Amino acid sequence: MKTPTNIGGNDLALWLQTATEIRMADLYTITLKNGTALRYTTWDTNLVVLGNKFLTGPPNIARSAIEEKLGMDVATLEVTIEASLTDTVNGVPILQAIGQGLWDGASFRIDRLFMDSNSNQIGTVVRFSGFIGPVDELTRTSAKLTVNAGTAYLNMQLPAIILQPGCTNTLFDARCGLFKASFANNLVAQSGCTRNKIITTSTQPDAYFDNGQLIFTGGPNAGLVKAIRLYKAGVMLFNSPLPFVPNAGDTFTAYPGCDKTQNTCATKFNNLPNFEGFPYVPVPETAI
């Protein structure tokens, strides 16, 4: 068994050898990049463990089975988070925060809490530790995430900056340096929208939102995050239909996209000092 953390002077390893009734609860600790720590538990009431309060939810968290692997193989978890618009972190709905990337790379830890028949806490054991990876699915009520064990860091390609014409940064990440909130466009849907397009009040130039993202903040699609395929003359088009036809007056927030070229970085975002592409590298056919 992994090294336990004893609680209240108990000896968890010794107690497990003689206990006839064992109560267990999972403790989830999610630490965002900004340092915010979120703590939840599968127990049916809130718990205070070693001075930290773990909430019973919502949001409600479900996970796949924990794998134990030897060597350099990366263990992963499939985690589902169910929440509503009223479930917030720092004032932002949790699912919206996930869609905005605020949970990307957050550390994710699961401890197993052991209790006796009277729910007295005996000790904890770390069951899994890693970081949040890709968002596999995001709806108005739930998000499915992949959580990777820490050994995944050993598979990352180095150096981080690769010699290629396009920028290696992701728009609004730490290396890009731009703040997503600074480019938020709070818009209102106009009449004539369909499930495949939304007519907006935006006056931004054509292609400004190409490959960007929008988040509905009102109407039947509230909470939905959608990628924008094409923007022209105030109309946004999508790769797949929306769940519901937007109504005139529905509110949403739209963010621009980036094609990772030097010209876009300079003229659209005024962020050339943080451009990490190499547009003057010869193509392989001409390189000597």
Average pLDDT, whole number, for the chain?
A: 87
Rounded Cα distance between 194 and 247, Å, is 9
Respond yes or no on whether the N-terminal peptide bond of residue 273 is cis (omega within 30° of 0): no
| Residue 288 clears pLDDT 70, i.e. is over it | no
Q: Can you tell me the mean pLDDT for 256-271?
A: 94
pLDDT given at position 281: 79
With beta carbons less than 8 A apart as the criterion, state whether 113 and 27 touch: yes
What are the structure tokens assigned to 109, written together? 């830890």
Rounded Cα distance between 191 and 21, Å, is 63
- Domains present along the chain, CATH in parentheses: 5-155 (no CATH), 180-274 (2.40.10)
> Checking DSSP bridges between strand 88-89 and strand 92-93, what pairing results, if any?
antiparallel
What are the structure tokens assigned to 26, written together? 């999972």
Q: Can you tell me the mean pLDDT for 258-285?
A: 89
pLDDT given at position 271: 94
Nearest residue to 255 (alpha-carbon basis) of 111, 128, 150, 100: 100
Within 10 angstroms of residue 44's Cβ, the number of other Cβ atoms is 9
Beta-carbon contacts of residue 45 (< 8 Å; ≥ 6 apart): 56
The pLDDT tens digits of the residues spanning 220-259 come to 998 888 999 999 999 999 988 999 999 999 999 999 999 9
Rounded Cα distance between 276 and 265, Å, is 10
pLDDT given at position 114: 94
pLDDT given at position 68: 66
More confident call, 60 vs 162: 60
Rounded Cα distance between 64 and 174, Å, is 30
Rounded Cα distance between 164 and 81, Å, is 37
Tokens 């050993």 map to which residue?
154
Rounded Cα distance between 135 and 225, Å, is 12
| Residue 152 clears pLDDT 70, i.e. is over it | no
Respond yes or no on whether the N-terminal peptide bond of residue 159 is cis (omega within 30° of 0): yes
